[in-house]
Amino acid sequence: MPKMINVLVTGIGGPTAQGVMRGLADEDNITIVGVDRREVNSGRPFCHKFHQIPGMIDLGSYKNKIREIVQSEKIDVIFPSLHEEIEVYTSFKRELDVVVATPESDYISALNNKAEAYKLLEQMDLEHYIPKYFVFQNREELKVVMDKHFSRDKFTVAKQVSGHGALGFALLTDRETYLEMLTKGQKNYVALQDYCDIPHEGGEMVMEYLPGQEFSVDVYVYEGKTVTAVPRERTGVSSGLVLDGKVIYNEALIEAGSVVSEALIHTGFINLQFIEHEGSYKLTDINPRFCGSQVMSLGAGVNFPLLLIEYELLQNKPDVHPKWGTRMLRYRDQFFIQE
């Protein structure tokens, strides 16, 4: 009989947690314990048991409740799904005698800071994967950077160094183009002068605008070696969530994802985002956790949540064979409860 495994998944009202639970739902020997700060949430149908927990704004109470659930439910593995949980579990997991699905790395701070990660990769002679970028601390520095390095560019990307998804993302342009985009209903475009006029207090960066195709690469690394890297086309994206995409075989992307992942982490799952530019691939985002669209890899026969359990809990090393060419289309669905 297979070992019975109890898995705790956090933030089950969101797409990341629901993708993880989808990957584990058909495993008869796995019990999914879901937690969320909201009692009523869209993830409850996907778990076997549910506990409401405090929000992370009250970190002490949050940790105490997680400890209590780990003990009472005899949890074996925790899958944190929220971006803000990654840094917390980096130290918190040392207190818990369970596997936690956050990467083991010597560079944890860089995983949550794109500017630090870029500097680190440059030091490792991987600068060919890095787009042109500059960090600024205030509006004066921003104006200098824009005048010196991007004055001839029609668009420039602005984002938070520690942001995730579409948070803090803006396409800077001249006012005429901004108004044109506004009339077309295009969001995220901001007039450069307006952007310079708002307060900036650090934690932001600008980088070159790359108009090429977007890709994600889901990677699982174990003891410094890539187990599998699965590139995905990001065809349709809304608010950072992939609605339409396809798993593809691309040797250059597999190599890029593997090399960068092995440079950054020792063991664990990581998601990297690239944009094709003049025949090469530039790294635009790093997600050191399971992401909302990794469920696309599940459809292609690569069950990353289960793979992590096999390697890190059960010490098994199953072969992985992606079904290249698998396409995913997302649609809205609903369920009903009686109150």
Give the model confidence (pLDDT) of 36-56 as tens digits: 999 999 999 999 999 999 999
In this structure, the answer to whether residues 95 and 112 fall within a common structural domain is no
Question: Looking at the 3D structure of the chain, how many domains does it have?
Answer: 3
In this structure, the answer to whether residues 141 and 26 fall within a common structural domain is no
Q: Give the residue from 208, 235, 269 where a domain finishes.
A: 208
User: Which of the four pLDDT bands, split at 50, 70 and 90, describes residue 164?
Assistant: low
Tell whether 308 is covered by a domain. yes
Query: Minimal CA–CA distance to 205: which of 116, 107, 290?
Result: 116
In this structure, the answer to whether residues 238 and 299 fall within a common structural domain is yes
H-only helix segments in 112-212 = 114-123, 139-149, 175-183, 192-197
In this structure, the answer to whether residues 113 and 235 fall within a common structural domain is yes
Comparison of pLDDT for 296 and 262, the residue scoring more:
262
> What value does the mean pLDDT of the chain take?
92
| Percent of residues, the chain, with pLDDT higher than 70 | 97
For residue 61, give the CATH number of its domain: 3.40.50.720
Look up residue 244 and give its amino acid: D
Q: Give the residue from 185, 208, 231 where a domain finishes.
A: 208
Give the model confidence (pLDDT) of 71-82 as tens digits: 999 999 999 999
In this structure, the answer to whether residues 216 and 285 fall within a common structural domain is yes
Q: Confirm whether pTM is higher than 0.85.
A: yes
In this structure, the answer to whether residues 81 and 118 fall within a common structural domain is no
In this structure, the answer to whether residues 162 and 269 fall within a common structural domain is no
Least confident of 29-43, 121-135, 214-228, 277-291: 277-291
Alpha-carbon gap, residue 56 to 45, rounded angstroms: 23
In this structure, the answer to whether residues 139 and 287 fall within a common structural domain is no
**Contact of 269 with 290, CB cutoff 8 Å:** yes
User: Which of the four pLDDT bands, split at 50, 70 and 90, describes residue 245?
Assistant: confident
Tell whether 174 is covered by a domain. yes
* Cα dihedral 182, 187, 189, 195 in deg (nearest 10): 100
User: Which of the four pLDDT bands, split at 50, 70 and 90, describes residue 1?
Assistant: very low
Tell whether 278 is covered by a domain. yes
Tell whether 80 is covered by a domain. yes
pLDDT recorded at residue 240: 64
Give the model confidence (pLDDT) of 139-158 as tens digits: 899 999 999 999 999 999 99
Mean pLDDT of 266-286: 94
In this structure, the answer to whether residues 75 and 122 fall within a common structural domain is no
Tell whether 336 is covered by a domain. no
Q: Which domain holds residue 309?
A: 108-128+211-329
Give the model confidence (pLDDT) of 85-103 as tens digits: 988 998 899 999 999 999 9
DSSP reduced 3-state for 36? strand
